Amino acid sequence: MRRWMSAALAGAALMMTAMPAQAAWKSYINRQLGFSFMAPGEVKTDVGNFRGAIAGPRQTIVYRSVEDNIEYKVTVMSFLQAQAEGATLLGERQYMFQDRKTVLMDTFSRVGSGKDAVYGRKIVVDLPDNKGRTTGVFYFTKGRLISVEATVLPAKGSFASPDPDRFINSIAFVLSHTEPGAVELETPKLE
């Protein structure tokens, strides 16, 4: 009996080592830009570029991590001088996200409730050439367009992971709800 139990324990230990290591999820906050989110892995800050017919060329701030073959990305664009155009800028961003891709879901999304509510959209697409599946949510609030995207890469093997939803549902704009000890994100200077 003891031998049998030892074998079972050893087997379980072997399985554990064979499974990919899962990083802990941490909370991140950027008080200057007014949002917080949760993500696994090491979140790196970068500067990127975006171009839309209406938005024009924009520099973006990107917070990105990759964990267990899922890429997690929060992209921020500032439109402080064009806040009244927010609906169209948001629509353009959403349209570009799904353009020429297979749309699996396109529905309302909302962060907060009542007067604190921010309405956006949640869209799930399959990327061309079997490059993976991306879940994105898009919001425009306080002059900033915020995209939260999680891409399950083909190496992951299955699109059934709940982690993309966990990531995109973690975005918050009322910072008082952010858990204590959240990692403060830096805001890179844009040109």
Partner 1 sequence: MRLTALAILVGATLMATPAMAAWRGYISHPLGFSFSAPGELKVEKGTYRGALAGARDTLVYSFVDDDIEYKVVVIDMSDKANDAATLLGEAEYIFQEDKKVLMDTFGRVDRQFGRKLTIDLPNNAGRATAAFYFINGRIISLQATVLPANGDYDSPETARFVDSIAFFTVRAPDDAIELPAPPK
Residues that bind partner 1 (CB under 8 A): 53-54, 83-92, 94-95, 106-108, 110, 113-115, 117-121, 139-143
**By C-beta, is 41 or 120 nearer to partner 1?**
120
Least distance in Å: CB of 140 to partner 1? Answer: 4
- 48 three-class SS: strand
**By C-beta, is 65 or 109 nearer to partner 1?**
109
**By C-beta, is 65 or 135 nearer to partner 1?**
135
C-alpha dihedral sign at 74, 75, 80, 82: negative
C-alpha dihedral sign at 57, 184, 84, 97: positive
Neighbours of 19 (CB within 10 A): 9
Cα separations in angstroms, 74 against 16, 45, 94, 154: 31, 10, 14, 21
Tokens of 180: 């204590």
**By C-beta, is 73 or 121 nearer to partner 1?**
121
Least distance in Å: CB of 91 to partner 1? Answer: 2
**By C-beta, is 34 or 86 nearer to partner 1?**
86
Rounded distance between C-alpha atoms, residue 18 and residue 63, angstroms: 29
Least distance in Å: CB of 34 to partner 1? Answer: 14
Least distance in Å: CB of 185 to partner 1? Answer: 23
Contacts of 120 (CB under 8 A, 6+ apart): 90, 108, 109, 110, 111, 137, 138, 139, 140
**By C-beta, is 25 or 50 nearer to partner 1?**
50
Report strand pairing: 183-184 vs 25-30: parallel
Under DSSP, the state recorded for 22 is: P
Least distance in Å: CB of 171 to partner 1? Answer: 14
Least distance in Å: CB of 33 to partner 1? Answer: 16
